[in-house]
């Protein structure tokens, strides 16, 4: 005879399917053991890995041999590149000093033409390693300037004088005037000034 809905409500679950207190206790004990061992699951169905082992792997640093190897490589690279860097800085200083002197000569020519007066530029004046713009009677037009440290006047054909038309003559020596600057590594840069007032710095 088929059962009715009311009859289904009165069915009694078999005792074997009802978890007993001992089963619940065993489940809780097992769960606490897993937490105590601190296991963590990994995605992809792999085996459980101890969190303690993972932490130990993360905390492993470099060995002393590896650190010494890195320090040695850094020392070799520094010893190799330091001389070239220092030489490059000295060449840069010499180039910058030469450009400043050439710029001063051009400025003196502009002033001579603009003021319609005679202007002079003297080198190693008033002291060694300095240069200055003066008027036709050697009165100061601008402050004395010093070469950058490490640069010096190696040879100068002579001080120059610029007339109101912008033409250049040498107070001593021949034209074109040449001003040679030298650096500590025997590198040189030569400034050439033509009679027409053209300033060249190769």
Nearest to 166 by CA among 106, 108, 109, 121: 109
**Is pLDDT at 47 greater than 70 in this prediction?**
no
| Of residues 177 and 31, more confidently modeled | 177
Rounded CA gap, 102 and 112, in Å?
16
Domains of the chain: 19-59 (no CATH), 93-200 (3.55.40.10)
Please report the pLDDT score of residue 96 as a whole number: 95
Which range among 65-74, 145-154, 193-202 shows the weakest confidence by mean pLDDT? 65-74
Confidence band (pLDDT; 50, 70, 90) for 29? low
pLDDT in tens, 77-103: 877 776 777 777 888 999 999 999 999
């Amino acid at each position: 005879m088929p059962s009715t809905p009311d009859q289904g409500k009165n069915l009694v679950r078999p005792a074997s399917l009802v978890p007993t207190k001992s089963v619940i206790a065993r489940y809780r004990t097992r769960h606490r053991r897993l937490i105590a061992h601190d296991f963590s699951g990994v995605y992809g169905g792999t085996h459980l890995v101890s969190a303690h082992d993972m932490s130990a792997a993360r905390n492993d640093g470099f060995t002393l041999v590896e650190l010494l190897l890195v320090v040695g490589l850094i020392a070799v690279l520094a010893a190799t590149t330091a001389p070239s860097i220092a030489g490059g800085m000295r060449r840069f200083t010499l180039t910058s000093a030469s450009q400043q002197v050439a710029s001063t000569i051009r400025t003196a020519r502009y002033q001579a033409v603009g003021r319609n007066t005679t202007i002079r530029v003297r080198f190693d004046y008033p002291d060694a390693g300095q240069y200055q713009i003066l008027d036709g009677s050697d009165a100061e037009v601008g402050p004395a300037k010093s070469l950058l440290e490490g640069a010096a006047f190696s040879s100068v054909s002579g001080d120059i004088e610029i007339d109101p038309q912008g033409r250049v003559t040498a107070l001593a020596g021949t034209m074109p005037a040449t001003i040679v600057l030298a650096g500590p590594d025997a590198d040189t840069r030569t400034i050439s000034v033509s009679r027409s007032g053209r300033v060249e710095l190769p």
